Amino acid sequence: MQEKIRALRERTEAEIGKTDTGRALYELKMRFQAELKTVMSGMRELPKEERPAFGKLVNELKESIERQFEERAAVVRKKELEAKYAAERIDVTMPGRKFRPGALHPVTIVRNQLIDIFSGMGFKVYEGPEVETDYYNFTALNTPEDHPARDMQDTFYLAEKLLLRTQTSAGQIRVMEKEKPPIKILSPGRVFRSDDDATHSPMFHQMEGLVVDRGITLCDLQGMLAEFARRMFDSSTKVRLRPSYFPFTEPSVEVDLSCAECGGKGCRLCKGTGWIEVLGAGMVNRRVLENCGIDPDEYTGFAFGMGIERIAMLKYGINNIRALFENDVRFLEQFR
């Protein structure tokens, strides 16, 4: 019996030493366990008094061999890993596999940013019709038929008194006719003027803002536009108001922002002035409020309007407005 145990030990120990894969080691272990089982089954044939000694021997064998298995397994695992590492090497500079999303149009991106900025200030978004009547586009905005300001914008006509809106201000009237103050709306959309060169496009986008409530002042307009400028461009952007004229606001102002390119020192972009003309604004003309059934002695308001393309061109450094409507994929993809 003891002979059998010694033989099993010697054979197994020798084989453990020779085994160098995890799988062979596992098989060897299974075989050893099976053989040990056979050896142990011989115990019943032993006299009772010899059994404890035999059991001790078997246990010693089992513990010793299992320890050796573990030690060997550690060595083998290490070797195998090393081999795996050596075999599995990739060129990490090869391109990754990706799905490339497209881009929103820069006008949409800027429009979304503007909406984001102003909706946080309590503005709702109203999109009016693009084909407008003469009344909403001009007359109600204090631009009667004989008004020279009608020449400021070359209008596309579809029929008598029916036109492609020249300004999103037309939307102001539609909102003010329906809603009572407090009113805070943003009216983005397409507008049309009979103009076509490097800085003018027969179609472009405007964003009109309107606030009507009690006690609204020119200082409020300045404050709101300053906040807009800081968020749209950068926190150091300054706002300058200067007198201008629009039929539907009084006083009217042209709003300049400090040039982001040179920080106001003067450069080619701002033609050396340090300022960039960005939008028109003013206090809503009393006549316009009256035309919409809002009492101008109780309420005041301000309105501002900006060209979305103009903002996009400034923001992204686009110098020809036509590039925005050619839809060249090499252009569009840059806004990803």
Stretch 5-64 residues interacting with another protein (CB under 8 A): none
b/e map 254-282, b = 16+ CB within 10 Å: bbbbbbbbeebeeeeebeeebbbebbbbb
Select the span of 38-46, 63-71, 79-87, 127-135 touching another protein (CB under 8 A). Answer: 127-135
Residue-by-residue DSSP string for 187-241: EEEEEE-S--SSS--SEEEEEEEEEEETT--HHHHHHHHHHHHHHHT-TT--EEE
Q: Which stretch binds another protein (CB under 8 A): 33-41, 43-51, 122-130, 258-266?
A: 122-130
Please report which helix (H) or strand (E) contains residue 65, including its range.
helix 51-87
Q: Which stretch binds another protein (CB under 8 A): 3-11, 81-89, 214-222, 257-265?
A: 214-222
- Torsion sign across C-alpha atoms 266, 268, 269, 273: positive
Q: Check binding of 85 to another protein (CB under 8 A).
A: no
Q: Are strands 300-307 and 275-284 parallel, antiparallel or unpaired?
A: antiparallel
Rounded to the nearest whole angstrom, what is the least distance from the CB of residue 50 to another protein in the complex? Answer: 55
Q: At what angle do helices 308-316 and 106-119 cross, to 10 degrees?
A: 110
* Residue placing its CB nearer to another protein in the complex, 66 or 154: 154
CB of 303 to another protein, least distance (A): 13
Q: Which of residues 218-237 bind another protein (CB under 8 A)?
A: 218-220, 222-224, 226-227
Site string (90-119) toward another protein, x via CB under 8 A: ---------xxxxxxx-xx---x--x--xx
With CB under 8 A as the contact rule, which of the stretches 24-32, 72-80, 241-249, 313-321 interacts with another protein? 241-249
> Shortest CA distance to 133 belongs to which of 162, 171, 168, 112?
162
**Cα dist from 21 to 14, 34, 70, whole Å:** 15, 20, 13
> Among 26, 156, 263, 316, which residue sits at the site for another protein (rule: CB under 8 A)?
156
Q: Which of residues 250-289 bind another protein (CB under 8 A)?
A: 250-253, 283, 285-286
Near another protein by CB under 8 A: residue from 18, 41, 151, 235:
151
